[in-house]
Amino acid sequence: MVEAGESDVQIILSIKEGKDFEQVLQPTILVGTLNGHSLKTDKIESSPNPQYDTDLIWETNKITMRKMRSGQASLKLECYAFKENENKEKIGHVLLSLRSAHLAYKYGDVNPKASWHKLIGLRSDLKTNKPELLLTLRIEDRKSTNLDTALERCPEVESHRNPSGDFRKCNPISIPGETKCATERKYTNQHFLDCQHLKSQMDKMMCLCSSDTAVCNCMNVKCAGSYHCYCLYISLVAITSVSPKLSGRRIEFRFHHPKAENTSVAHATISAVTGEKSKLQNIGCQFHFISTPNEIKQLLQSFPPKISMYDTNEAAKPVSLLVLDLKPLFHQDKPECQYKLPLYDTDTNKIGDVDVMLKLENRGPHFLLNKETADKNLGPPILDDSLAYKIVDELETWKERQKEMFKAELKKKEERHLNMLSEEWRRQKESLESKLACSVEQCKILANSLNNATEDLRTRRLKSLENETRLIKANENIQWRYEVKLQELRDSSHSMQSDLMSKVSKLEEKKSALEAQVEILMYENESLKLSISKLTNELQMYQKGSLTQDQTASLLQELKVLEEKLNNAQKGKSFFKEQWGKAVREIHRMKVDHQKTMQDQIKNSKEELKNVDLAEILSIDTRALTNDQILLNELQKEIDGIKPRQPFASKEAYGQIFASVNDAFSEDSYNGNKIISGKSDERNERLQALREERDSLLRTGSYSSDDTVIRKLDTEIRSLLVDRRRV
């Protein structure tokens, strides 16, 4: 991120392992990006719990680090899966905030606790069981410059000892140039982060140096004087763009030697049509290598050349970075081949294909290099064994000096740290003791107040219990009194109610009896008044005419006969009245029935109007209405014929009656006994008929007890009852 001399802070992301990767069946790789700079791990084979055990280190200064922390910058760790054609597919990512990073230079702990982080941005098939990564993020101070210088020199020695190299330690694919230095040292630096492990690391380096010395001796015995000079020709034949990102641009191709700093540059213009192949001319270079014939294959496969593509208008950021695959070069009879290489941008998106032609030429033993011209761009010479041994000896002596210096400095730091800890511990102990004493005093005060409060609460509780018992007893006593009083009131009310009901019933019986007696007395009083009036009239008649006793007796007899005839006439009149009332009731009933039938017919006709013709229904109804009117007129005529036209007999009829009195006197006297014997039966029948008529009129609902007809019927019933009692 910054130059090595200016960086004083390291941001270290430790990736321990993963879990829940059962559904990921391809090899995986992790790419960390911080502030536009990316680092990546090795390719790990598919496993439910992949073991990464990798540290990604970014170097920067404290000012930049503070800016990133204040700007809420995040470290993005992306997980990719490799497909069959070496394409990468993104699985998910994790975002880590720099503000949550552990500050090792501040707290002194270089091994913070790791935590699990779930991947986000997953596909739908991975969301049920989300994969997780065990991560730690910490920020440390950068070690001294001498230590870093020595560590930077170690890979050069190892690269010379083993021409195939350990390419895992310095593989800068898809990494910008300014982060390359940090990436190449990430696996070495992670062994020197903890000062406590320095001794074991130095011992390992000593063992490596001793073992490498033996290896170099064996190599000198077998391979002395067998170095050859090889020339690798790289030519780009054509390029095909599959993305608008590459179309119509002028591209600058930079060919990078894997073991030297020199590069070859060529320019070409890509076709503006997407999918069209653009032929390239004179786009290529040649690289020179020095190695034995047996190890040239391993050397080229371990350190393949690289090609970076830049837009001439935007030279700051590469368009694509290619790593040549040299395996097909050694699968042919002749060391030359041509194949198609896919192009990927910095976001691992495919943007095109390029046709690459490779050719390897053996120029013979190493002494021919002196005859080559400087225009061939052969690169720097390779270190010999004596120089390597000298470097190793210097490193061993430097290692011993650094070890002694480090031990002395470490001892001083330990003493200072222990003194600081003891002083801090003493101060903390005194403050804690003072706080403890204050807390003990406060606890005693609180305990005393608690005891007083509990005692007060106990006394209050006893008083409340006593008051509660007294209230319960008083409540029970009041409840018992209330229930007794309520029961007494209920009993007295029931007895009074029964007495009053009995008195009321008796009074009602007496009232009904008295009313009957009053009615009888009133009827008797009226009859007595009538008899008095008759007697006074007779007396006046007797006084007017001085008749004999026989005439008086005959007149009295005639008077009785006339009275009987009058009664018979009144009976006939009442009979016609009864017939007339029955006819009226029958007409009323017929009217009611006719109205009901008419209403039913109207309802039925309304229901049948939907299916029957309206004209036919109206004609039928009009005919039925005319028939009903004719029938009602006939009934009215019959009623008028039955109704008596004169309520009383005329004077001529009475004259005829008085004229026939003498003629019928003898017949009546002859049949007197027979009439007297049949009067009781006639009264009973008459009484029964009047009662039925009154009940029938009341049932119709058209008459009430206050109507004149009902009153007349009641008076007749009373008179019949009085006559029957007299007899």
Highest mean pLDDT among 148-152, 298-302, 634-638: 298-302
Distance CA 395, CA 147 (A): 11
CA distance 169 to 150: 16
Q: What is the mean pLDDT of the segment spanning 129-135? A: 90
Domain 9-141 has CATH 2.60.40.150: yes
Q: How high is the mean pLDDT of the chain?
A: 74
pLDDT at 267: 76
Q: Which pLDDT does position 182 carry in this prediction?
A: 35
Residue type for 437, please?
A: A
The model's pLDDT over 271-283, given as tens digits with 9 standing for 90+, comes to 656 777 888 888 8
Stretch 319-334: mean pLDDT: 82
CB 239 within 8 A of CB 231: no
The number of residues making up the chain comes to: 727
- Gap between the terminal Cα atoms of the chain: 150
pLDDT(534) > 80: yes
- From residue 342, give the alpha-carbon distance in Å to each of 241, 320, 321, 409, 494: 10, 10, 10, 54, 114
3-state helix, strand, coil in the chain (%, to 5): 55, 20, 20
Cβ count near 237 (within 10 Å): 16
Name the least confident of 206-220, 337-351, 400-414, 617-631.
Answer: 206-220
Q: Which residue(s) pair with 75 in the sheet?
A: 96
Mean pLDDT for 246-269 is 77
Where is pLDDT greater, at 9 or 454?
454
Which amino acid makes up residue 244? Answer: P
Distance set, CA 257 to CA 62, 152, 183, 363, 492 (Å): 35, 19, 18, 18, 128
- The answer to which of 228-242, 356-370, 456-470, 562-576 has the lowest mean pLDDT is 356-370
Closest listed residue to residue 27, CA positions, set 7, 10, 42: 42
When mean pLDDT is compared over 175-184, 620-629, 670-679, the highest value belongs to: 620-629
What local confidence, expressed as pLDDT, does residue 125 receive? 82
Whether 192 shows a pLDDT value over 50: the answer reads: no
Highest averaged pLDDT of the listed ranges 127-136, 218-227, 363-372: 127-136
Which of 239-248, 455-464, 633-642, 716-725 has the lowest average pLDDT?
633-642
pLDDT > 70 fraction of the chain, expressed in percent and rounded: 71
Alpha carbon 427 to chain centroid, angstroms: 56
Domain with CATH 2.60.40.150 in the chain: 9-141, 228-368+377-383
For residue 421, name the pLDDT band (cuts at 50, 70, 90): very high
Closest CA to 147 of 202, 211, 104, 184: 202
Which CATH homologous superfamily contains domain 228-368+377-383?
C2 domain (2.60.40.150)
Q: Which helix (H) or strand (E) holds 514?
A: helix 385-544
